[in-house]
Structure 1
Amino acid sequence: MDELSTGSDSAYSNSWISWFLSSKGNEYFCEIDDDYILDRFNLTGLNTEVQNYSQAFDLITDNFDEEFPEEVRASLEVQARFLYGLIHARWIITSRGLAKMLEKYKKADFGRCPRVLCQQQPLLPVGLTDVPYEKSVKLYCGRCEDLYSPKSSRHGSIDGAYFGTSFPHMLFLVYPHMIPPKVGPPDVAGAGRGRPEAEGVGEGVSTAAAALKAERYRPRIFGFQVHEIAKLQRWQEAHRDRQVAHLEALEQEQ
């Protein structure tokens, strides 16, 4: 899913990981500690997901001495990137991994929220699924709690499974002082005056029906909704249901 980045052969003289992290398009990734990679317990199950697992592992740990034709080497390179991405998803929810990603977050390495009211809030990468090759990475704003696509096509093609569904919410759970203040609710004092309209709603489609179809992102850690956010979402959905009922009543009066 992610694009192959190019790098000079001289970069291999340092390490494969250094070359990988310095390649264009890989700015979202952080460096995984060697001790974590070399502990095979941390890699349990990955051998069934990665083709040529042993050779890919040797490549990212700089123990790769065999000479292969260029096309074989390119295939192993893809598998090494895939393996590093899967290890990365596990690493960044450890204490050391969270600390490294926190530093990148503070520097806004993942970009800033494009929403004006979020006041340049830094973003965090998140996956919509933990299964590889299904969804590309998205960017989560802790202020408006919405998702955005990366601006760069290089970043937009990164597999979301390399960051996982739990990472940004785990980071805020461990570092609660980093949770940004929420955007205040809009002024709804004049709601319901006149005929309600919604962007993208055509003739014959009720505003209430369009509102009910709106998809929203639900933050989760290991598949479970985050408690405080889940409580807030229940309140938001109850408020939305009241507004939808009000819209339906207005449309019936027309």
Structure 2
Amino acid sequence: MSSDPEDDYIPWIQQFCELFGHDYFVPVAQDFIEDDFNLTGLSSQVPYYREALYTILDYEVETSEDNNNNNTTTIHNASTPNSNNNSNNNSNSNVAATTTATTASGIAKKAGKAELPNKALLAHSADLLYGLIHSRYIISKPGLTAMATKFERNEFGSCPRYYCDGMHLIPVGSTDIPGHETVRLYCPCCNDIYLPSSSRYLNIDGAFFGTTFPGLLVKMFPEIENQCRIRTNKVNSQDFGLKLFGFKINELSASGPRMKWLRLYPQTDLEKEEYETCEFGLPSGDEESNSNSDMEEVADDDEEDDDDKTMASEGN
């Protein structure tokens, strides 16, 4: 029982999304690609833009290999003798036909090399064009919904940080210009960026997801912010600290927990205002002189009694 070839045909977009390492991509709707407004400015970024677009839309595209095969067939047909004519006319006509066909094929080859891409270059241009279209599609409403489904299924991976409690990651690019950096994963809980856990994703361009998508996804679905808020409050209320025999060490003691400010978040309006004013702030001249005098006093005190010394250093 013979099957219809059209039933076995797989669209180009489906083949692209099913390739090894393309798990982060979602199929772009054909209506979105056929709208020229959504493709504004891409023709200057993608070589052989029209041929690549036709390839994505499953149209038949002629390549330089196909053009060379057609020229070879034309030369073969023109050089075949006609048995109904005499030998002299045949030889003269064949020579003229062969010369004409050879000249035409040479012109066609030059034109084919200049205008028609080969199959490898056409495949690369189609992949680049689809990636740039994908970065625009995922910030539309249907694209955000499709990517949110992948986010819920944890198809992008989880944050490796302990206090993020397995928060789902979001793909992001550091720039919207292709060819600069590969895709990264953004955690909305700790606001940090990580490399994908598998090397299969290290050849995906970050511009195929862009810099706008993570922030728009978080704002589009408030549930993500709620999940981050729950994890943040859990960390502040059950913060880890050093213990001796089950008792926490006093923060004011010399051996108390240090660098705790790395896990603190500003809570009150006064703390937020202090954080905004102190971040990357430079001290004034008076404050700098006072700080220098304070440093000198501290240095004098350290010479007399160094609190950082341990009993092992005092025994030497």
TM-score for the superposition, normalised by structure 2: 0.58
> What does residue 55 of structure 1 align with?
51
1:48 Cα offset (Å): 0.4
Q: CA-to-partner distance for each residue in 1:47-68, whole Å, 9 max, x for gaps? A: 0000000111011110034254
Match for residue 25 of structure 1 among 7, 21, 24: 21
1:136 Cα offset (Å): 1.4
> What does residue 40 of structure 2 align with?
44
> What does residue 5 of structure 1 align with?
none
- Alpha-carbon distance between aligned partners in 1 of 2:172 and 2:190, rounded to the nearest angstrom: 15
**Comparing 52-61 and 131-140, the one that deviates more:** 131-140
> What does residue 90 of structure 1 align with?
136
1:69 Cα offset (Å): 3.3
Residues 1:114 and 2:110 aligned together? no
1:126–1:140 Cα contact (<8 Å) kept = yes
Residues 1:134 and 2:217 aligned together? no
User: What CA RMSD, in Å, does the superposition of the two structures yield over aligned residues?
Assistant: 3.7
- Alpha-carbon distance between aligned partners in 2 of 1:100 and 1:89, rounded to the nearest angstrom: 13
Residues 1:35 and 2:31 aligned together? yes
Check 1:196–1:122 CA distance in 2 against 1; reply closer, same or farther (3 A cut).
closer
| Percent identity between the two aligned chains | 36
- Alpha-carbon distance between aligned partners in 2 of 1:81 and 1:121, rounded to the nearest angstrom: 31
| Residue ranges of structure 1 left out of the alignment (5+ in a row) | 1-9, 199-210, 212-231
2:63–2:118 Cα contact (<8 Å) kept = no
Q: CA-to-partner distance for each residue in 1:74-93, whole Å, 9 max, x for gaps? A: 11111111000100111100
Match for residue 251 of structure 2 among 179, 190, 200: 190
Residues 1:145 and 2:191 aligned together? yes
- Alpha-carbon distance between aligned partners in 1 of 2:19 and 2:141, rounded to the nearest angstrom: 26
- Alpha-carbon distance between aligned partners in 1 of 2:176 and 2:206, rounded to the nearest angstrom: 7
Q: How does 1:1-254 map to 2 (within 5 A)?
A: 13-69=9-65, 72-179=118-225, 180-182=227-229, 183=232, 184-185=235-236, 190=251, 193=254, 253=299
SS in 2 for 1:37: helix
1:168 Cα offset (Å): 0.9
Amino acid at match of 1:159: D
> What does residue 103 of structure 2 align with?
none
1:132 Cα offset (Å): 1.2
2:28–2:134 Cα contact (<8 Å) kept = yes
SS in 1 for 2:118: helix
2:51–2:61 Cα contact (<8 Å) kept = no
Per chain length, whose mean CA-contact separation is higher, i.e. which structure has more relative contact order (CA < 8 Å, sep 6+)? 1
TM-score for the superposition, normalised by structure 1: 0.71
Q: CA-to-partner distance for each residue in 1:225-246, whole Å, 9 max, x for gaps? A: xxxxxxx99865657669xx9x
Check 1:234–1:120 CA distance in 2 against 1; reply closer, same or farther (3 A cut).
farther
SS in 2 for 1:147: strand
- Alpha-carbon distance between aligned partners in 2 of 1:58 and 1:79, rounded to the nearest angstrom: 11
- Alpha-carbon distance between aligned partners in 1 of 2:157 and 2:141, rounded to the nearest angstrom: 23
Q: CA-to-partner distance for each residue in 1:109-128, whole Å, 9 max, x for gaps? A: 11111112211111000111
Check 1:143–1:49 CA distance in 2 against 1; reply closer, same or farther (3 A cut).
same
Amino acid at match of 1:116: Y
> What does residue 75 of structure 2 align with?
none
Amino acid at match of 1:44: T
SS in 1 for 2:170: strand
- Alpha-carbon distance between aligned partners in 2 of 1:176 and 1:93, rounded to the nearest angstrom: 16
- Alpha-carbon distance between aligned partners in 2 of 1:47 and 1:118, rounded to the nearest angstrom: 42
